[in-house]
Each structure stands twice: as C-alpha cells, then as structure tokens.
Structure 1
Amino acid sequence: MITKTGTLYPNKYVIICGHFDTITGPGTSDNGSGTSVILEVARILKDVPTEYSIKFIHFSGEEQGLYGSAHYANNVEFQSGVRKLDIKLVFNLDQVGGKIGNVNNKIICERDTSGQSGNNAASNTVTQQLATCTTLYSPLQTSISNAYSSDYMPFEKKGDVITGFYEYTRSYNEHTVNDTFANVDPVYVFKVAKAAVGAMQHFATASSTVSAVSASKEKPLTTLESVKMYPNPAKNILNIELPDSGTRSFTVEITNLAGLSMLKDENKSQLNISSLENGIYLCTVKNEGSSVTRKIIIEK
C-alpha cells in the first residue's frame, strides 16, 4: 500500500484497490490485470495534485474469503469499533484482462445494491460518474451491474461508498491454468487503465494550474488551494471562491472537453449553469497573467 497526500483534504481518502492472489493458475487476468492497472494509475498520478488523498492498495487473501480487505476494514479503517480513516470512496478492480480473440469493447461498472442500504444511493451516484468518466477518457462502452464478492465488500459493510470495474465479456479463464498472459487482451487492459486514470482524477479531484506568474499588483492565482469551485458535481449553481475576492477582478469561463466555450462571466462568485447539459467540463478562473483550471462535473 502507498498513500498520495491530498492538497485540500489530506485526511479524507479515495481507495483504489485489487487483489494479487489467485487460484490454480498464474492469475494473469484474475487479478494480475487489476493490480497492473492500479500500478499504472499510481505512476501517472504521482505528480498530479489531487484535493483528496489516494490510497493504492493490493490486497491478499481475496480468493480465500476477502481476508486482506476484511482485515484492513476491521483493523485499520476501524479500531476497536471506532472509525480511524475517513474514506470518501472505494474503487475496486477485479479481473479486467479480457480474453484475446473476444470482442472486448465494454466494461462493467459495479454499484452497491445490497448489504448496508444507507450507502446504496451514493454508490449508484459514483458508479454513474464512473461510467461517464469511462466514456470520456477511453473508447470503452459501459454496462451498470451489481457489486459482488470482491474486496470492496468489507468496506461496504462498514458503510463506505463503493464502485468497481469487471470485464464485460467474460474470459472464463479465472481459477484455471489457462489464466496466462497469452490469453489476456493487453489492449483491453490498456483501455481499462485509461478509464481508471480518468475516474481517479475525478474522484480525488485532480487540479492543474495554467500559467503562473503575474506582473500585476494583484496577487496571482498561483496556489492550487487559493481557488475553490463547489459543489462538484454541480447542478444549477457553481460557486467560485477566491481569497480577497472583493478586491480582485477576475473572469470565469466554462468550456467543454473539446475546448468550446459554454459560459463566460466576470467578477461573479456564483454561476448559473442550469443551461448546460450533464457532463464533464473545464472551469478556468483568470486574473491578469495567471489562471487556474479545474475539472467540474454537471449532474442534474
């Protein structure tokens, strides 16, 4: 396990996880595929600022009864019945290798529909967001199905919000000597990794700064923490919060992912976004010589 510390919420965690144990065969798809995707997500996001902390976890003992994840949920997240970790979301990857020769153009996005009923609605929401991110960041189609018997379940029992990926066209090589690299579709794994990177940027709220230093007497927007955009996801109103906003002149522009300007205004701390369709957009706040861009999601 490794932890990447968030810039705004260092003590609130998004967990991305999978298991590295197997049964009978080498387990290249179940679950070498999931663990390799987690490593790739960690490699890409290691230098990308995220508002929430991320824990990248490879569990053991999943095939024997979710032993590793159950131990973590019962003894690390909770200790003596007291919550010690504030978990925003658990994103699990299990068997995403596909099978060479199959039509592998779709991924299952898994949501919680059983166990603790209080977290089902939130799980459904984040799973819909996972599906949206998948189609935006990868060529994969999506199917919504149910979470079942993998490492997110011990967290679900603790009331956490869960989601996950599982291959859509089953290889049926799991737990056999045929679960080898020769039978896995590496292009499919690559596409799943693209989707997972995009989803994790959304779930952990990745940030980016565009241009930096200003010659103006105004304080430039150089600090990622200095500009807040909320709620995210947003519905009808997006709030823009800047330090010293009363004395600062600025512009706000929302563009779609193709770069087309959808909304632009000046010196407004609240934007009416009710006319925009559901989806992921870029919101840029500028003052002279400096700008900050964040991804926002509109969901009505």
Structure 2
Amino acid sequence: MTVRVCCAFLLVVGLYGCEARLNMERVAENNRQPVQRTDQLMAVAANDEVVVVVGNFGVVLVRPRASADSWQRLALGRDANLIDIEVCPDQRFYALSNNRQLWVSDAKGEHWRSVPIPTLESLLTLDCAPDNTLWVGGSFSTLLSSLDGGASWEEQSLGEDAIFTQIDFVSTSDAYAVAELGLVYHTIDGGLSWQSAGLIDDDFYPQGALFETSGEGWVAGLGGSILHTRDGGQHWVAEPTGVAAPVYALQQVGNEIMALGESGLLLRRSGEQWHTVSGVGHGAYFRDAVLVGEQLILVGGSGGLVVVARNQLR
C-alpha cells in the first residue's frame, strides 16, 4: 500500500511539474487590446462621426468613422449584456440590453446612461423610426414605443404568445414586425395600430428580417433558410442559398443585400441569386454589419470584428 501511494504521489507531482506556466504578460497584453477573444459582439451602427459596436458584459467599442484601426473600449458593466444598437436620425445611439435597459449615448458614443424599460416581457429587438421614435419588441407579441428618447414608453400587445425578433421601419408611417411562429405584422400609421400581414409557413422563426419597401422583404433563419415576399408578407418564396448554417441577420449594403450567420457565413444577393463570399477569415458567427464608406464592418463571436473592402465582396 505504501509503494502504491508513493507512486501515485510521484505521478501527480510529475503531471503538475510538466504543466506549462501561464504567460501572465500575454494575458495582460490581451486585456489591454480594445477587442478581446472573449468578446461576443452583437451589433454595430454608425452615424456621420463614429462607428459603435456593442456586445456582452457591457462592451462598447467606438472609433471615428474615418479611422479604421483606432478603436476605444468602454465598459458599461458586466450586467449590461447588449444585444442591439441603433442610431437615430438625430445622430444619437441607443443600445438594448437583455435586462430591460435602454442605454442612451450622444452622437460621439462616448457617454452612456441607462434607462429602465417598464415592462415584464423579455425584449429582443430595437429599431428607430425616421421620426426618431424608438421601438422595442419582445415576448407575448409586445411592442413598446418612446417619443422622448426612452424617458417614457407606450406599451401594446398584439395578443400572441410569441416573441418579436425584428422591427423594420420602411418609412415614418410604414413598418413591419416579425415574430416566432411565422407571424408578420404591418403598420401604415406609424405604429398606432398593427395588422397581421400573413404567416410564414412551418412556424418559421425569423432570426433576421429586412424590408426594402412596403411590399418587398426577406426573412432568414435556421438551415440557411432565406424567404422572400413581394406582397407585404402574404406569400413567401424560398430562395436557395446552398448553405446549411443558420442565418442570423440581413443587411442592406449599397444596392445589394448581405446575409450573415454561423461559422463566419457571409452571403451576397446579386440579381435573384445568393452567393457565398469567401476569404473573410472568421471562424465564429457573424451577427451584424454596417457599411462605412467603402468598407463593410462585420461583428460577431470570439472577438469577431472584421473589416472588408467593399470591392472584395465577390
């Protein structure tokens, strides 16, 4: 018994003795970088002055619009898991966190304050209408709007046990809201009232949505699915993508539409066809993108902050 115990002790000591020492200098250097490998970046927006990226644990990255590499890292607190950001026509930034907080910044994206959103529902999406009205959508088909930058809110529920995943304003009066179970709602009076615009087949869960006009739009979801409507959501047609990875977002990039998803998926719609954009070089997911000048800024998981020249999106 003594021999076995001694041998076991020597084996354990040997294993620990062979373990590589943690390079604390390298860890400290990584922590000083504006973008870190643990960042889960969720959304990006830009105004005439700056670009702002938001993510988990209150991460905010800000850079001047004309400066590609000078990112500044801000921290709003570990409880502020930021899931969406929008810039309004008045140039101010608004970010949504998953604990029912609206974060408000000035046009430079440097100073932020939080405003509670008075609802018991889970909130998932944020949009700003052309008249600077803020809209958030959440569970139990709940929509909230604010005319004063989040100081006060009006809440309405459309009576369905489903969560809104995207709100998209085409104009001040015209907007669409999509939700799980394939629900599509439309307003033509600036959100005073919402009517069902139809259903997406098979209880489709729209991870992302984009409406170019009052009648034409796209939704995207699991399995590389992208569906297209030309009649305001009454009928949807599947557009083949040739991929099986989930698609999380759709973005207008100039006169083209881009789709973003899992494992660095990036698709470009040219004409009526979807094409995979290769050479982007990111292994985790993409969640959002914004076109700044002739550069597309993509954000996603594992510190995914990728800048691609627009002429390389082929």
Q: Which category of TM-score, normalised to the shorter sequence, fits these structures?
A: under 0.3
Structure 2 length normalisation: TM-score?
0.21
Give TM-score, length-normalised by structure 1.
Answer: 0.22
Greater strand proportion: 2
